[in-house]
Amino acid sequence: MLVHQTFQYRAYTSKAGYAAFDEALRHLCNLYNAALAERILRYKLDKWPAYQHHYGIGKPDEKYSGYAWLKCWNCGVAGEYHVLRAVCEDCAVRKGKGIYFAEQSRELTQAQLDNPELHKLSRKVKVGVLYRLDLAFKRFFQRVEKGETPGFPRFKSLSQFKTMSPRGIEIYSRIRKQYWLKKSPDGKKAFLTVSGLPRLKIRTGKRGIPEGKLTRVTLTRKDWGITASMTFEVEKEELSKTDQAVGIDVGVAKLIATSDGETIQPFPADDPKDESLQRQMSKRHRKGKKKQSNRYRELQQQLRRHRANKRLRKRNRLHQLTTDLVRRYDLIAIEKLQLEQMTKSAKGTEKNPGTNVQQKAGLNRSILAQSWGLCAYQLKYKAEWAGKTVVSVPPHYTSQTCANCGTVSAENRKKENYKCACGYQADADVNAAINILCRALSTAGQNLGPGRPQDYRRPGGEVCAYPSSLQEPTTQAGGS
């Protein structure tokens, strides 16, 4: 079975190549904004009579009777046009009918003739920008239909426009008779060639370039270089069944604790290098001045690169952990956490100020540093890819419930240790992971099909398929 899979690589070029790539992004950003402005104007001319009157569509107005020899701002044809609207009659008629991706793509031919720098770029790259704008409008209308916050497409500044995606790219171009993507003989690197852009060298690493049809390429400018995300049609990898299930508890003292007793150390919430760079920038900051010193800009660049590398290292480690879990287990139980509410500020309002604000802010930083949401996202899409199951369960009282007898008591947990009156004693996070697994098997066991993992038993011998001891208490209060 063929499926689409995206691989991300680092791309490198020369110093002049990076400058040329930035210059291409600047022209594409201008193209995006011009296409958006044209769509907005078409809509106004079609819906608002005041704009139709201003641009000469409909009844003429004697108030604005001045004419001059100008160029039509739409098609570029010179003639004697109205000073205010400066548009020929043919374009004025067409301006009231809306415009979409297909028509703007046809207008590219004239637009690139007016801009020689834009003409140097491949048409596939420019069409990709128009398709990106068209996709933004489609999603805008979808949100309007669903009653969500619309989020109308906005104009982009150069600092916000960092990505280009050539449309209709392939490994070998029969028209140009050249390779877009060419692999080296040893397979350790590849070269991506797009007309109008610098030649990019891609380091493939151990995994290499997959065999299959190239369907999409996205190039993103980063602080440290360029990222190439390439989508291929590949054969779906089928993982063998293991008939094993696991529960996962996430925290700040331990990143992951499994029901099998394994624990993973967390990401550090504090970063000494980050703090040091910020202190140096603070000393060199010129208050009230837009232009900063060269040393300040160097420190700013160092800070951005440090944070970017930190994000890459964290994501890479999470990829390794989640891939290992999906390969080893057929069912993975996780908590359904409300991260937005958990990391909400305790500052309060002027009338009702919060308490322990600094302590809560430190806890929020520790929670956000662990990237629980990214971990759950990776588990879900990898499990779906491999034909495994991920079950999300409510987190209430999982850390206060005894995994042996089912007793719920907040007093049984002492920091990282859990000790029950029945004699059961274990790590508090491992105890919670066992309860998470039992709750998942109890609530979703009937939907797992005939090939579901065998029923997991508690340390005391009770089968987790019976949820009697997992019901939430009504008399005792507490958090997870």
User: Could you report the per-residue pLDDT of 99-140, keeping only the tens digit for each?
Assistant: 788 888 888 887 777 778 888 888 889 999 999 999 999 999
In the prediction, which pLDDT does 477 show? 34
In the prediction, which pLDDT does 24 show? 92
For residues 126 and 109, give the distance between their C-alpha atoms in angstroms, rounded to a whole number: 11
In the prediction, which pLDDT does 172 show? 62
Nearest to 429 by CA among 417, 411, 441: 417
**Annotated catalytic sites, by residue?**
249, 335, 429
In the prediction, which pLDDT does 175 show? 55
For residues 432 and 400, give the distance between their C-alpha atoms in angstroms, rounded to a whole number: 8
Ordered domains of the chain (ranges, CATH): 2-14+162-235 (no CATH), 17-146 (no CATH), 245-287+294-346+359-470 (3.30.420)
For residues 19 and 372, give the distance between their C-alpha atoms in angstroms, rounded to a whole number: 37
In the prediction, which pLDDT does 384 show? 87
In the prediction, which pLDDT does 89 show? 55
| Backbone dihedral angles phi then psi of residue 426, each to the nearest 5 degrees | -160, 175
Size of the chain, expressed as the number of residues it contains? 480
**Chain CA centroid to CA 173, Å:** 30
In the prediction, which pLDDT does 209 show? 83
Instruction: Give the 3-state secondary structure of residue 345.
Output: coil
pLDDT, tens only, 302-334 = 999 899 889 989 999 999 999 999 999 989 999
Structure tokens at 125: 């790259």
Q: Going residue by residue through the chain (480 aa), what tens digit of pLDDT does each one get?
A: 788 888 888 899 999 999 999 999 999 999 999 888 888 877 766 654 444 444 444 434 434 344 454 555 556 566 654 444 455 655 554 444 567 888 888 888 877 777 788 888 888 899 999 999 999 999 998 998 888 888 899 999 998 999 999 887 766 665 555 567 888 877 778 888 888 889 999 888 777 888 888 888 899 998 888 999 988 888 877 788 888 889 999 999 999 999 888 999 999 888 899 999 999 999 988 887 878 899 999 999 899 989 988 998 999 999 999 999 999 998 999 999 988 888 888 887 777 888 888 888 888 888 998 999 999 999 998 998 888 889 999 988 888 888 888 888 888 888 888 888 888 888 999 999 998 998 888 776 544 444 444 455 555 555 554 333 333 333 333 333
Structure tokens at 340: 């937005």
In the prediction, which pLDDT does 379 show? 94
For residues 440 and 438, give the distance between their C-alpha atoms in angstroms, rounded to a whole number: 5
Nearest to 441 by CA among 417, 469, 418: 469
Contacts of 139 (CB under 8 A, 6+ apart): none
Question: pTM to 2 decimals?
Answer: 0.73
pLDDT, tens only, 217-274 = 899 998 888 999 988 888 877 788 888 889 999 999 999 999 888 999 999 888 899 9
For residues 285 and 299, give the distance between their C-alpha atoms in angstroms, rounded to a whole number: 11
Q: Return the bridge partners of 218, or none.
A: 229
| Backbone dihedral angles phi then psi of residue 288, each to the nearest 5 degrees | 75, 5
Structure tokens at 315: 């994501």
Specify burial of residue 218 (Cβ count, 10 A radius: 0-12, 13-18, 19+). Answer: middle
Structure tokens at 393: 């369960």
In the prediction, which pLDDT does 50 show? 45
CB 95 within 8 A of CB 85: no
Specify burial of residue 71 (Cβ count, 10 A radius: 0-12, 13-18, 19+). Answer: middle
CA 443, 397, 413, 344 dihedral sign is positive
Contacts of 393 (CB under 8 A, 6+ apart): 333, 334, 335, 336, 436, 439, 440, 443
Beta-sheet pairing, 189-192 with 181-183 = antiparallel
